[in-house]
Amino acid sequence: MHGANAVETIQREMTVFARRARAAAGRMHPELSLVSYTLLGHLEESGGCRATDLAAHYALDKSTVSRQVAALERSGLVERRPDAADQRAQVLHLTQAGRRVLARVTESRRAAFRERLAHWPAADLNRFADYLVRYNAWPGPARRD
């Protein structure tokens, strides 16, 4: 598990994690898939953005985003506002309900992670977090996601 094989281990464990994550997220929050959750999260962080921005950020097809957003709007979690600067575009915003649901799911996810990482030493948590950031940052946005 060490030495020259660290790369293999990382590869294998990231694969395991990837395989499990989506289903686990679905079981945890039937009301909000992993994708919907990240889209809502991005809207909250950005304070509203266009569908195209979401598609670019997550390297999803614009049709996929369009349908996801439509579903979120049907659920009343997202609203569309006209973009004053561009008549073609719509700016997406969280609704109050959207903020509530996002907060609830975030809290529940956070609790799961906290439980899972409960007995990790703080130094290890910090390093792990750094490694993940570094790993995901490669080689920059809009490529190789």
Partner DNA sequence: AGCAATGGTTGGCCTATGCAACCATGGGAG
Partner DNA sequence: CTCCCATGGTTGCATAGGCCAACCATTGCT
Binding site for DNA (CB under 7 A): 19, 23, 33-36, 50-53, 59-64, 66-71, 80, 83, 85-91
Any contact of residue 97 with a second copy (CB under 8 A)? no
- Nearest Cα to 73, choosing from 36, 26, 104, 34? 36
Q: Which is nearer to DNA, 35 or 127 (CB)?
A: 35
What span, in angstroms and rounded, lies between the C-alpha atoms of 54 and 83? 15
Where is 127: in which H helix or E strand? helix 122-136
Which region holds residue 83: left if phi is over 0, alpha if psi is between -120 and 50, else beta? beta
Q: Which of 84, 85, 142, 144 binds a second copy (CB under 8 A)?
A: 144
Any contact of residue 124 with a second copy (CB under 8 A)? yes
Any contact of residue 15 with a second copy (CB under 8 A)? yes
Determine contact, residues 43/49, Cβ cutoff 8 Å.
yes
What span, in angstroms and rounded, lies between the C-alpha atoms of 44 and 99? 8
Q: Which of 84, 85, 122, 142 binds a second copy (CB under 8 A)?
A: 122
Determine contact, residues 75/32, Cβ cutoff 8 Å.
no
Stretch that binds a second copy, among 46-54, 76-84, 89-97, 112-120 (CB under 8 A): 112-120
Residue 97's binding partner, choosing from DNA, a second copy, none, with beta-carbon cut-off 5 to 8 A by kind?
A: none
Q: Which is nearer to a second copy, 38 or 90 (CB)?
A: 38
- Considering only residues 31 to 90 of the shown chain, the ones binding a second copy according to CB under 8 A are 34-35, 37-38, 58-59
What secondary structure letter does DSSP report for 140?
Answer: -
